[in-house]
Chains A and B, each alone.
Chain A
Amino acid sequence: MDFFLQLLVNGFSLGFLYALSALGFVMIFKSSSVLNFAHGELMAIGAFLFLVLSAWADLPILAAFALTLAGCFTLGFILEKFFLRPLIGEALIQVIMLTLGLALMFRGLLLFIFGGDTQDYPAFLPDALSMKWGVIQIPAVYVAAFIIGILFLILFGLFFKYSSQGIYMRSVADNQPAALSLGVHVRRVFALSWAIAALVCAMSGIILGIINGINVHELSSIGLKVFPVVILGGLDSIGGAILGGVIIGLLETFTGGYISTSLREIIPYIVLIFILMVKPYGLFGLVEIERV
């Protein structure tokens, strides 16, 4: 029973991490319908930037954090302006290959600068954050991840629902020419959505780095695992990303604990195929009805 509960807690935390990573992905998809294969690498960039600023440049933690987020925000702008904008209107395969190419570029660059070993952040989270219920351990970093995740969720929920930029983003995601004709500045919306997504990626990258250590290969593979999460939850639904992430996280930890560790890596993809056959738009995604 204790094993079960520990697995439950671990799965829930892991799922929440996946959900945080999926948040950025859904955001890019919601506004510009681009599948971002460079997601893992963007997370890695955020994590490494924080490492450079906090460990090597020895800045105070909050300053390093703020600078990382600002840096990734700008990176998102730059990516959108120089790489995505020339491709507006091109076929989907071109855009997918572009993000794949960007992923390769970033991965090569990061491996070149930092090497393939796992690096660690200096410990800065207060120990008081970690919780203990009887036998179940919840380390401080999971609690921090949970708190930050909830904070971001609430912020983004409010942003999309009530702020004008958020409403512009939703309108562009829904029907781009209509939004354009109503006076929404579509280019600015694209740029802003990529910038915010890069920021969220940096956030998730930092948290993942605190938990697992920063390793380019690992972050890339988590970037690929975002796909089952968003398909399960629905490609354009933020709440779905959260729920999908938690389900996939729970599924993974339970498979790893009870069945086998090697199956653990592949089970999200089996679930992905299953969901695609049964309910292709996910749990909360918008169903595009095509009657032929």
Chain B
Amino acid sequence: MRRLQFHPCGSFKTSYHQDLHIFSTDFGRLWMGIGIVLLFGVVPFISNSYMLYIINNMGIYAIAAVGLNLLIGFTGQISLGHGAFFGVGAYAAAILATRGNFPFFVAVPIAGIVSAAVGMVFGLPSARLKHLYLCIATLAGQFIIDYVLVQWEALTGGAEGIVVPSATLFGINLGNDRAFFYVIFFCFVLMTWIAVNLIRTRIGRAFIAIRDNDRAAEGMGIPIFPYKLLSFAISSFYAGFAGALFAYYTISITPEPFNLWLSIEYIAMIIIGGLGSIPGAVFGTIFIVTLNEVLSHITQYLMNIGVSAGAAITIAPLREFVYGLTIVLFIIFEPKGLAEVWRIVRSNFRLWPFSY
């Protein structure tokens, strides 16, 4: 093994290929290796069942959040329909598993592709519309998909939902939390790796060009409509993939969780985490899932104290209040999100003692 290089004394890159490296020093690569070892080797064994449940949820939401960040943060198209695509993926996987008897590792990607197709349909308005009109169109799309999921009873089982058979992969039963942990986080690592590399390729650069100024991008020869559709398709694929995993994880699915609130949660995740940065999406997911858990615990704790038990029933809506307050405070005081905070902390250490 060659010697590890931690602090660059200057910029000694001699080719474009070197410039495109994700980690410029070995520090990042080392920590990446340690992180993966910790994630796959240590975490599933030291966490109890409840923590595993939360971490699994984080993993699933993180995949969808990364997809949404590709759409909003890198291509600049606002979509309020992400929760609906998540639901479409979940239902597609459920239907494929129950009606078509597809095995787990086939149903999940196909569900992603179905979701990508639906996403492309709802991305069609983006040809002529910009910014706020697209935002409203996707809002309408969210409601329409919600309605269809409930009403199309022949396919989706209406309000009662579908029960998904337990997943098996190469004969191993994936019913319990720990086995599913490996599946979820393997998929998470894979999808994040794909996303990070997508940004570095031609497609990613086209996305960023469209975000910054789409008329100029078209003037430079990037056909914006196909790339916008592609962006919608990719982000919906991520959402559908995550939704399919979600369907297998929570064995029975109903149309109830896939509403506007879920879409708003996703957007909150990537805004709090940081638009336009893949680690930001992950940070945001961790933050929002943790916030949800902390607030539920606080309301439950307060409900159990005798003193405020009477008033405690009404404390539950304070959860919404705190949620909204967090979003508002983050946007006013740190609009670039947690990724920016992380960057400042890191560069503080890197530039010490000149870190002002």
Contacts and interface: CB of A to CB of B under 8 A. Distances in A.
Interface of A: 35, 83, 86-87, 90-94, 96-98, 100-109, 111-112, 115-116, 224, 227-228, 231, 235, 262, 265-266, 269-270, 272-273, 276-277, 280, 290, 292
A149 to B, nearest CB: 24
A97 B331 contact: yes
A232 to B, nearest CB: 11
A96 B320 contact: no
A106 B317 CA distance: 10
Given A97-B267, A103-B324, A266-B144, 4 more contacts: A93-B78, A100-B267, A262-B151, A266-B147
A101 B318 contact: no
A105 B147 contact: no
23 contacts: A90-B335, A92-B135, A94-B335, A97-B267, A97-B271, A98-B331, A98-B332, A100-B267, A101-B327, A101-B328, A102-B328, A104-B324, A112-B314, A116-B317, A224-B139, A227-B139, A235-B132, A262-B147, A265-B147, A266-B147, A270-B140, A280-B133, A290-B215
A216 to B, nearest CB: 9
Contact of A273 (B128, B135, B137): B137
Nearest to B215: A292
Interface in B298-356: 314-315, 317-328, 331-332, 335
A279 to B, nearest CB: 10
B321 A105 contact: yes
Contacts of B323: 101, 104, 108
B323 to A, nearest CB: 6
Given A35-B132, A292-B215, A97 B268 contact: yes
B143 A266 contact: yes
A54 to B, nearest CB: 23
B327 A100 contact: yes
B325 A93 contact: no
B133 A276 contact: yes
A269 B139 CA distance: 9
Nearest to B214: A292
A292 B322 CA distance: 44
A86 B275 CA distance: 18
> Interface residues of B toward A: which range?
35 or more
A115 B317 CA distance: 9
A115 B322 CA distance: 17
A81 B86 CA distance: 37
Give the dominant DSSP class at A's interface. Answer: helix
Contacts of A100: 264, 267, 324, 327
B315 A112 contact: yes
B133 A101 contact: no
B135 A107 contact: no
Nearest to B268: A97
Contacts of A106: 324
A218 B335 CA distance: 31
Centre residue among A91, A96, A101, A107 by max chain B CB count within 10 A: A101
A262 B140 CA distance: 16
Contacts of B332: 83, 86-87, 98
A228 B331 contact: no
Interface in B52-97: 72, 78
A231 B126 CA distance: 16
B271 A94 contact: yes
B42 interface: no
B218 to A, nearest CB: 5
B341 to A, nearest CB: 16
B136 A227 contact: yes
A93 B271 contact: yes
B331 A87 contact: yes
Contact of A280 (B129, B324, B326, B327): B129
B273 interface: no
A62 to B, nearest CB: 32
B107 to A, nearest CB: 29
Given A86-B332, A273-B144, A231 B136 contact: yes
Given A227-B136, A280-B129, A93 B327 contact: no
Contact of A108 (B136, B140, B271, B319): B319
B324 A101 contact: yes
Interface in B121-161: 124-125, 128-129, 131-133, 135-137, 139-141, 143-144, 147, 151
A53 B159 CA distance: 41
A112 B139 contact: no
Given A97-B271, A272-B137, A273-B140, A105 B129 contact: no
A104 B321 contact: yes
Centre residue among B131, B140, B264, B325 by max chain A CB count within 10 A: B140
Given A100-B327, A101-B325, A101-B327, A108 B143 contact: no
Interface in B32-49: none
A269 B129 contact: no
Given A97-B267, A280-B129, A92 B78 contact: yes
A106 B124 CA distance: 34
Nearest to A110: B317
Contacts of A272: 136-137, 140
A108 to B, nearest CB: 3
The 8 closest A-B pairs by CB, nearest first: A104-B324, A108-B321, A108-B320, A101-B327, A111-B317, A105-B324, A101-B328, A269-B140
Given A112-B315, A228-B140, A92 B132 contact: yes
